[in-house]
Structure 1
Amino acid sequence: MSAPAADVVEEALRYLNDPLVWTRPGGVLDLLGEHLLMTAAAVGIAAAVALPLGAWLGHSGRGSGPVVALSNTSRALPTLAIILLLATAGLFGNTATVIAAAVFAMPVLLAGSYDGVRGADPAARDAARGLGISPAHVLWQVEVPLAVPLVAAGVRTAVVQVVATIPLAALAGGGGLGQIIAFGMGTQRYGQVLAGGVLVAALCLLIDGVLAVAQRLATPRPLRLAAARR
């Protein structure tokens, strides 16, 4: 390891081990809370639109082309470009970032909901229809429960992606852990930049682990057993 790199790592360790950095007003804990609130807002907005829409499209059997096209387009559209576009419309900071992150998360949630409902066991669907259950009840009582594994996987992916995207808020005057990175770049304190990157990466891994457990718990036991047998 070269000397400059060693200095950067040492500076990052000093930063992360300074109690005042964590507890002072506007410190790591405050920025972490702001980061999580922005993530929850973005995913909540995206889920409110994408999950019901994806479930309906999967139930009706329509929209597979648009869903695929939207998912592919979203991967090619930089979130930063959306933030800058919103800035030209007068939206800055946390608001612009939450909207951009919601747009980024929506196709992932839409695809998970669509694939989950569309891939529900046809035998269970036909049995419910044979009992005279209404289409709406077939969707919410049969197809949606069977879609839980794929829907939960989509939510997990979307949340982690949004957590990793929120640091861009600092480029538009917003908060969150990205402020640590932005301030370090502005002052050429590259150890602080590294520390901010480590914090964001650690948060992504932690949330992914928590959501992996939640995904397993949310999946009905018969589906877990069937997946284990496969």
Structure 2
Amino acid sequence: MSIFHFINAFFSDGSHWHGYDGIPTRIMEHLQYSFMALGIAAGIALPVGLITGHTGRGGNALALIATAARALPSFGLLVLMFFWLGIGLTPVMIPLVALAVPPILVTTYEAVRTVDPSPVDAARGMGMGPAAVLFQVELPVALPLILSGLRSAAIQVVSTAAIAAYVSLGGLGRYVIDGLYQRNYEIVVGGATLIAGLALAMIALFWLVERLVVSPGVRRGR
């Protein structure tokens, strides 16, 4: 049987669209884990990236932190956290947050650090303080690159959040794990297709966000 046969069989089966194991429920669980991890990572990485990029200090330390975090195996970290903390959402959040922090942190730092110094100097000459320069001058110009870091983190988290199923949580990973256990490749392929579809949806979502929040002048300048 071809992969397209499995996909058609999975999505055409009405039983997959209802109940606690239905597609809508699993998608909502998957998005809950993903956006929770992305929100925590953004809450950590964005302020650090903005401040260090504005001051121009700490770049080497950020590079080391990002490299170390990227080297962490998400599944291995999940297993360690599971044995340390037990069943729950926390063992899942830790590896997902560790996965999302580096791209947000590095791109935010680079985005602010590489802003054209001319408008920054002009703003300082007009008497604007450091916070005003950061949020009114540097941030609007750096926003497209910052959003690209958030987009990259979102795609990675959505693609990896399936690991929640390994510790008895829900999400789209349930289809993959349960399907492999049952040797039911129809739901394995269906779950993998849904995860890939969500990752593509993240690209579309951030494209729309960029169109809405980034100044047209900044977009044309890019």
Deviation >4 Å, runs of 4+: none
**Higher mean Cα deviation, 94-103 or 186-195?**
94-103
Gaps of 5+ in 2: none
Question: TM-score, length-normalised on structure 2?
Answer: 0.94
The 5 Å alignment of 1:208-227 reads 208-227=203-222
Match of 2:140 among 133, 137, 145: 145
Inter-partner Cα distance in structure 1 for 2:81 and 2:70: 19
Contact 2:164 2:173 survives alignment (8 Å): yes
Aligned to 1:176: 171
Aligned to 2:46: 51
Inter-partner Cα distance in structure 2 for 1:146 and 1:11: 46
Give the fraction of aligned pairs with identical amino acids, expressed as a percent. 35
Number of aligned positions between the proteins: 222
Amino acid in structure 2 at the alignment position of 1:182: I
Amino acid in structure 1 at the alignment position of 2:174: Q
Match of 2:118 among 117, 123, 144: 123
Aligned to 2:193: 198
Q: Does 1:69 align with 2:64?
A: yes
Q: CA deviation at 1:133?
A: 1.2
Inter-partner Cα distance in structure 2 for 1:124 and 1:102: 34
Inter-partner Cα distance in structure 2 for 1:124 and 1:164: 39
Secondary structure of residue in 2 paired with 1:89: helix
Contact 2:38 2:97 survives alignment (8 Å): yes
**Higher mean Cα deviation, 165-174 or 132-141?**
132-141
Gaps of 5+ in 1: none
Inter-partner Cα distance in structure 2 for 1:169 and 1:131: 52
Amino acid in structure 2 at the alignment position of 1:204: A
RMSD: 1.5
Amino acid in structure 2 at the alignment position of 1:196: G
Secondary structure of residue in 2 paired with 1:170: helix
Inter-partner Cα distance in structure 1 for 2:66 and 2:211: 25
Contact 1:86 1:92 survives alignment (8 Å): no
Q: CA deviation at 1:168?
A: 0.7
Amino acid in structure 1 at the alignment position of 2:149: G
Question: TM-score, length-normalised on structure 1?
Answer: 0.91
**Higher mean Cα deviation, 19-28 or 113-122?**
19-28
Contact 1:9 1:191 survives alignment (8 Å): no
Contact 2:85 2:91 survives alignment (8 Å): no
Q: CA deviation at 1:151?
A: 0.7
